[in-house]
């Protein structure tokens, strides 16, 4: 497997040295020097600090930091092209005559080479270098109480196979339905002694990266031979538990944060930048970043939500459920045919409904979640065993949105619908009906939708029209009218016995 990885890396390097990826030659007489070439990447600070931008070379996994803060992100290149995170760019500079170092950069120093397709998150097997930083001799000791053995167990389990429940390798494989895996045989762990970095303030991500890489080279380990590098460090005065490049190859982790949330969250950031939002008990209905408990891209110890699965291309919509708009769903009293949604712990195939209510702003994603499989830690949550609803910004809900790392579609936990329940969504002028669990694992729920123009009374209820069975309907003399008018008892029977109140 190691030889295959090296061959793959060599092939990638050759590809990047040709065609549109080739390094541009500076014209004769041009004084500017090539400073860096690669992806414009971002490292967002989970603790609320400023984003750090860099140009990351995909060949050697080297990064040139542009600094922290939005002012450090280049907005345009010398031709006036807008620059976005994920673009492949070059940066040139006028070096100082005495020091040979570059001074500040302006728009005229940047060159957009191309806007490549986003990095794929499907069919990926990663070879990872895990570096454990440990230097007790710094002013504030960068001592790391985490051991290499502990890290091996957290990544691959006690037997190093990656099959132990709860280990990072198994969790990311199950959450991605096998699309993202870590190669246990080709992943290595080393303890290194880096030079001291700033301890009176939070050190820059790339300051830490440079010193960790230098320490690895000092013991004969070349980080550029690996597809991903994970730094496990002590970072005094930093509020983050983990961070990652988007797009990129580097992850930063704190030794105390090797749980079932942080490593998965950061590994996914190489392909998907955004976080899960949700209102909290103290936010007065205002959604807060990182607070979605139904996803490890928020603050949950469970797999990603439907909007994230869709953008990562780890899941597909139910038949007819990829773009439910006004053409698909006219105003009631008719309901949609049932969407049979499997709980996402089982499969990503046909696992969500994407509602595009073009009659009002905002898109919706519906999914079924159960505390089983990789979602076992969902047990005890109010939405366990329910249809979960997320809303996203319609104008940024590009498909897949991961193609653009610069616009957050704001995946927001909206609510949930238990089985055998009718829920009204006033903002979307929509009624959602959920039936009873079906299948041998009791993990498939039928979901119906009804759109209304003025009041949800236009849509069916869950109440029986009468306590006794209705007589057989008379033959329909107007098939079109019969098709458009639902039989409330039939809908009621399909949904099953109501066990929860209408909402």
User: Residue 449 in contact with residue 432, Cβ under 8 Å?
Assistant: yes
User: Residue 242 in contact with residue 268, Cβ under 8 Å?
Assistant: no
Question: Are 421 and 286 within one domain?
Answer: yes
Q: How confident is residue 216, by pLDDT bands cut at 50, 70 and 90? A: very high
Q: Tens digits of per-residue pLDDT, 260-272?
A: 899 999 999 999 9
User: Residue 298 in contact with residue 413, Cβ under 8 Å?
Assistant: yes
- Give me the pLDDT at residue 474, please: 38
In this structure, what DSSP letter does residue 50 have? -
Question: Are 104 and 223 within one domain?
Answer: no
- How far apart (Å, rounded) are the C-alpha atoms in residues 305 and 318? 15
Question: Are 96 and 136 within one domain?
Answer: no
Q: How many CA atoms lie within 13 A of 375 on its CB side?
A: 25
Structural domain includes residue 6: no
Token pair, residue 209, equals: 């990266």
Q: What is the percent of the chain with per-residue pLDDT over 90, rounded to a whole number?
A: 67
Question: Are 247 and 291 within one domain?
Answer: no
- The pTM (predicted TM-score) of the whole model is 0.84
- Give me the pLDDT at residue 24, please: 45
Question: Are 361 and 251 within one domain?
Answer: no
- Give me the pLDDT at residue 459, please: 94
The 3 state secondary structure assigned to 116-136 is: CCCCCCCCEEECEEEEEECEC
Given 268, 293, 313, the domain boundary residue is 268
Structural domain includes residue 3: no
- Give me the pLDDT at residue 400, please: 55
Q: Tens digits of per-residue pLDDT, 445-500?
A: 999 999 999 999 999 988 632 233 323 333 344 434 434 344 443 455 545 443 33
Q: Residue 146: left if φ>0, alpha if ψ -120 to 50, beta else—which one?
A: beta
Question: Are 459 and 329 within one domain?
Answer: yes
Question: Are 87 and 200 within one domain?
Answer: no
Given 91, 114, 137, the domain boundary residue is 114
Pick from 115-129, 371-385, 402-416: least confident: 402-416
- How far apart (Å, rounded) are the C-alpha atoms in residues 205 and 29? 36
- Give yes or no for residue 34 having a pLDDT over 60: yes
Which structural domain range is residue 431 located in?
Answer: 281-466+474-495
- Give me the pLDDT at residue 212, please: 97
Given 82, 114, 146, the domain boundary residue is 114
Structural domain includes residue 11: no
Question: Are 132 and 257 within one domain?
Answer: yes
Q: What is the CATH number of the domain that holds 85?
A: 2.40.50
Question: Are 340 and 458 within one domain?
Answer: yes
Instruction: For the sheet with 110-114, list strands across it.
Output: 62-68, 52-57, 33-43, 88-93, 110-114
Pick from 277-281, 354-358, 403-407, 472-476: least confident: 472-476
Q: Tens digits of per-residue pLDDT, 85-101?
A: 999 999 998 877 777 67
Structural domain includes residue 23: no
Q: What is the CATH number of the domain that holds 139?
A: 3.40.390
Tell me what the pLDDT averaged over the chain comes to: 85
- Give me the pLDDT at residue 422, please: 96
Question: Are 314 and 458 within one domain?
Answer: yes
Q: Which residue has the tokens 């005559």?
A: 97
Structural domain includes residue 17: no
Q: What is the percent of the chain with per-residue pLDDT over 70, rounded to a whole number?
A: 84
Structural domain includes residue 9: no
Q: Give the total number of structural domains in the chain.
A: 3
Structural domain includes residue 14: no
- Give me the pLDDT at residue 87, please: 94
Question: Are 196 and 109 within one domain?
Answer: no
Question: Are 428 and 402 within one domain?
Answer: yes
In this structure, what DSSP letter does residue 317 have? B
β-strand pairing of 180-182 with 128-133: unpaired
Is residue 359 helix, strand or coil?
coil
Structural domain includes residue 16: no
Q: Tens digits of per-residue pLDDT, 254-301?
A: 999 998 899 999 999 999 999 999 999 999 999 999 999 999 999 999
Q: How confident is residue 16, by pLDDT bands cut at 50, 70 and 90? A: very low
- Give me the pLDDT at residue 406, please: 79
Q: Tens digits of per-residue pLDDT, 179-210?
A: 999 999 999 999 999 999 988 899 999 999 99
């Amino acid at each position: 497997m190691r030889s295959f990885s090296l061959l793959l890396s060599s092939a990638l390097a050759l590809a990047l040295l040709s065609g549109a990826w080739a390094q541009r030659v500076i014209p004769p007489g041009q004084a500017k020097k090539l400073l860096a070439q690669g992806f414009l990447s971002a490292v967002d600070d989970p603790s609320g600090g400023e984003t750090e931008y860099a140009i990351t070379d995909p060949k050697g996994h080297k990064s040139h930091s542009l600094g922290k803060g939005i002012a450090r992100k280049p907005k345009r290149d010398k031709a006036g092209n807008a620059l976005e995170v994920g673009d492949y760019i070059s940066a040139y500079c006028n070096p100082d005559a005495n020091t040979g170092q570059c001074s500040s950069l302006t728009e005229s120093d940047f060159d957009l080479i191309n806007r490549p397709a986003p990095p794929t998150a499907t069919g990926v097997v990663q070879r990872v270098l895990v570096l454990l930083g440990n230097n007790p001799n710094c002013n504030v000791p960068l001592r790391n109480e985490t051991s290499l053995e502990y890290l091996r167990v957290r990544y691959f389990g006690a037997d190093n196979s990656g099959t132990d429940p709860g280990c990072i390798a198994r969790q990311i494989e199950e959450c991605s339905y096998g699309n993202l895996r870590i190669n246990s045989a080709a992943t290595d762990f080393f303890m290194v002694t880096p030079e001291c970095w700033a301890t009176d303030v939070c050190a820059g991500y790339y300051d830490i990266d440079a010193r960790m890489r230098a320490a690895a080279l000092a013991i004969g380990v070349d980080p550029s031979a690996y597809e991903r590098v994970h730094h496990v460090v002590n970072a005094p005065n930093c509020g983050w538990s983990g961070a990652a490049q988007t797009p990129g190859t580097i992850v930063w982790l704190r030794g105390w944060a090797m749980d079932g949330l942080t490593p998965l969250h950061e590994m996914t950031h190489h392909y998907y930048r955004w976080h899960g939002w949700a209102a909290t008990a103290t936010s007065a209905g205002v959604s807060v970043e990182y607070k979605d408990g139904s996803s490890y891209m928020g603050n949950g110890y469970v797999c990603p939500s439907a909007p994230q699965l869709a953008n990562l291309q780890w899941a597909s919509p139910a038949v007819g459920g990829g773009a439910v708009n006004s053409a698909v769903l006219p105003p009631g009293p008719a309901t949609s045919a049932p969407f049979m949604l499997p709980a996402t712990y089982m499969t990503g195939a046909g696992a969500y409904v994407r509602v595009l209510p073009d009659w009002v702003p905002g898109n919706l994603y519906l999914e079924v979640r159960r505390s089983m499989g990789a979602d076992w830690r969902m047990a005890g949550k109010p939405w366990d065993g329910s249809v979960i609803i997320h809303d996203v910004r319609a104008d940024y809900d590009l498909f897949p949105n991961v193609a653009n790392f610069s616009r957050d579609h704001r995946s927001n936990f909206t609510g949930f619908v238990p089985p055998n329940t009718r829920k009204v969504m006033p903002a979307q002028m929509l009624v959602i009906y959920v039936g009873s669990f079906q299948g041998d694992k009791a993990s498939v729920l039928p979901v119906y939708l009804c759109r209304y123009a003025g009041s949800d009374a236009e849509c069916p209820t869950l109440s029986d029209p009468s306590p006794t069975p209705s007589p057989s309907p008379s033959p329909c003399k107007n098939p079109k009218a019969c098709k458009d008018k639902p039989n409330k008892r039939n809908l009621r029977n399909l949904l099953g016995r109501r066990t929860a109140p209408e909402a």
